[in-house]
Amino acid sequence: MLNQESKQSNFEVPKKMLAQVIRQNRLGDPIKAFQMEEINVPEIEEDEVLVKVICAGLNYNNVWAALGKPIDVIAYRKQKGSSDNFHIGGSDASGIVVKKGKLADNVMLGDEVVIHAGFWSESDPWVLNGGDPILSDTCQAWGYETNFGSFAEYTKVKSHQCLKKSKNLSWEESSVYMLSGATVFRMLTNWKPNHLKEKEVVLIWGGSGGLGVYAIQVVNLLGGVPIVVVNSKEKLEFCLSLGAKAGIIRDDFSHWGSLNQANINEKNRRAEYRKFEKKFLEIANGIFPSIVLEHPGEMTLPTSLQICKKGGLVVTCGATSGYLGSFDLRHLWMFQKRIQGSHYANLEQCMEFNSLMDQKKIRPVISEIFNFEETGLAHSIMYKNQHKPGNMVIRIGNQKSN
C-alpha cells in the first residue's frame, strides 16, 4: 500500500484495550447486551494485521449477535474450538495498521485503511485455485462469526481485508460503506445473466436502510431505475433525494407475511397484493422489476417473487423480519424466475466499490454519529427500526478527521 520507510517504525501497542463486549449471560436487547470492558489486545497470526480503530460502522449483524438469535455466536465459536467466552462485534471500520504478521506484505505500519468484512484464508486451496473466496470454507464474516471486530480500540483482521482509505473521505465516512455497499454491489452485478442492465427496474426494500442507500446509488450508476419501499413519507423523501425514481409506503398495504399462516384470508391477501402491484406499475411506468433486492425475508418474500419480472431475479442476503420465507412455486416455474442467495462480496468487488467511493461516484450516507459508550444504544435503535436514514457510526479512536 504506502511505501514510506518512516512508516516501518514500531507502533506502541498496549496489552489491554477497551471494547464493547457481548456475553452470554446478557444476550437480549443490545442496550444491555453490549457493555464496555477491558480486554486483552488479541494476538495476530502471520497473515493478520492489528488495526487501531478510529471509527466503526454499524450493521444489523451485531443486532443478531446481541440477541443471540438465530445463533449464539459465542456458543458457535466454542463448538469450533475457541476458548473465548465473549464477543466483540463490528464489521465495518476505518483505522491505522499498528502491527502486522510476517506474511502481511500488502500493508505497511501506519497505513490508513478501510476494512472489508470477508475474513478468509488466502492459502486455502480453493482460493489459490481461483475459486471465489467468499465461497471458501475458511470464509467467515469478520466481527460477527469472528471475534475481535471493530467495536474495540484494536481489531484483528486478515491483511487482505485492509483497503486503502480514500483521502477524499473523513474517518467517519470511511467506516460506514464497505459492508452494505459491497454486498449490494455483488447482488446487482454478480448473478449473470441477471446482472443489472441499463433501464432495468430494481425494487429495493428498505431504501433508506444500510443496504438501501447504496443500492439506490449503484442502480443509478449502472443506468437502472431504482424504486424503493419504505415505512414513512420522510424516508421516501430521503430516498428520492438520494436518487430513487419513485417509491411506495409499505404501511399503506397489509398483505405481508408468509403464505401459510393459519388465519390468513387468501382472497383478501391477493386483493391487497394486486393493489400493491398496481401502485408499483403506476410509479414504474408499467415495468415489472428485473431484480428485486430482497433482505426483509419472511414478510416480503412472497411479494418479491410474485412482482419480479418474467425471467427476473430475486436476490437475497438477509431475513430481518424472519428467515422462514415462503412463496408460491407456480410463480417460480411458470415465469422462469430465479431466487439467488448472495452473501457479502469478494476482494475484487470490495476493491471496485472502494474505488467508486474514492472517485466520489457513490457517496457515504451517515445517519448519526455515536460515542464509543453508546454502542449498545445505537444497536438498540436499529433493532427497533427507529434509526434515521443511512448508516450509523461509532467514534472510537481520537484521530482528527481530514
Ligand X SMILES: NC(=O)c1ccc[n+]([C@@H]2O[C@H](COP(=O)([O-])OP(=O)(O)OC[C@H]3O[C@@H](n4cnc5c(N)ncnc54)[C@H](OP(=O)(O)O)[C@@H]3O)[C@@H](O)[C@H]2O)c1
* Number of Cβ atoms within 10 Å of the Cβ of 311: 12
Q: Toward ligand X, which CB reaches closer, 22 or 317?
A: 317
Residue closer to ligand X by CB (options 99, 235) is 235
DSSP annotation of 237 reads H
When asked if residue 194 is in the footprint of ligand X (CB under 6 A), the reply is no
Candidate segments 44-52, 81-89, 207-215, 259-267, binder of ligand X by CB under 6 A? 207-215
Q: Give the interface segment with ligand X, choosing from 32-40, 74-82, 163-171, 177-185 (CB under 6 A).
A: 177-185
- The answer to the question of residue 304 lying near ligand X (CB under 6 A) is no
At 46, is the secondary structure helix, strand, or coil? coil
Ranges within 209-248 binding ligand X (CB under 6 A)? 209-211, 229-231, 235
Nearer to ligand X, 247 or 397 (CB): 247
Q: In the bound complex, what is the minimum distance in angstroms from residue 330's beta carbon to ligand X?
A: 23
Terminal Cα-to-Cα distance of the chain (whole angstroms): 19
**Helices 178-189 and 210-221: crossing angle, nearest 10°?**
50
Q: Which is nearer to ligand X, 31 or 108 (CB)?
A: 31
Contacts of 214 (CB under 8 A, 6+ apart): 177, 180, 181, 184, 185, 362, 365
Among 205, 276, 280, 327, binds ligand X (CB under 6 A): 205
Give the three cell numbers for residue 391.
448508516
Interface residue with ligand X among 147, 175, 304, 320 (CB under 6 A) is 320
* Shortest separation between residue 292's beta carbon and ligand X, angstroms: 12
Number of residues that bind ligand X (CB under 6 A): 29
Strands 48-57 and 391-395: antiparallel
Residue 382 binds ligand X, judged by CB under 6 A: yes
Closer residue to ligand X in complex, CB, 154/327: 327
Q: Is 130 left (phi over 0), alpha (psi -120 to 50) or beta?
A: left
Q: Which stretch binds ligand X (CB under 6 A): 36-44, 54-62, 92-100, 103-111?
A: 54-62
Position of minimal CB gap to ligand X: 209
Shortest separation between residue 258's beta carbon and ligand X, angstroms: 12
> Hey, what amino acid is at 309?
K
Give the C-alpha separation, 193 to 214, whole Å. 22
All three cell numbers of 93? 471500520
Rounded-to-integer distance, Cα 264 and Cα 68, Å = 30
The x, y and z cell numbers of residue 9, run together, are 517504525
CA dist., res. 271 & res. 126, Å (int): 49
Closest separation in Å from C-beta 108 to ligand X: 29
Give the C-alpha separation, 77 to 226, whole Å. 39
Find out whether 226 and 207 touch, Cβ atoms under 8 Å. Answer: yes
Interface residue with ligand X, options 158, 245, 255, 295 (CB under 6 A):
295
Q: Compare residues 302 and 397 and give the one whose CB is closer to ligand X.
A: 302
Residue 356 CB, shortest distance to ligand X, in Å, is 17
Euclidean distance between CA atoms 371 and 259, whole angstroms: 42
Taking contact as CB under 6 A, which single stretch among the options 9-17, 28-36, 58-66, 165-173 is the one that binds ligand X?
58-66
User: Is 321 one of the binding residues for ligand X (CB under 6 A)?
Assistant: yes
* Closer CB to ligand X, 166 or 320, in the complex: 320
Stretch of 82-90, 179-187, 262-270, 271-279 lying at the interface with ligand X (CB under 6 A): 179-187
Cis previous bond, 125, omega within 30: no
The three-state secondary structure class of 102 is coil
Grid cell of 221 as nine digits: 450508476
Taking the CA atoms of 314, 363, 354 and 137 in sequence, report the sign of the dihedral they define. Answer: negative
- The reply on whether position 183 binds ligand X by CB under 6 A is yes
Contact with ligand X (CB under 6 A) among 22, 299, 301, 365? 299
Among 30, 68, 226, 296, the residue binding ligand X under the rule CB under 6 A is 296
The residue ranges that bind ligand X (CB under 6 A) are 59-61, 179-180, 183, 205-206, 208-211, 229-231, 235, 250, 295-296, 299-300, 317-318, 320-321, 343-344, 382, 385
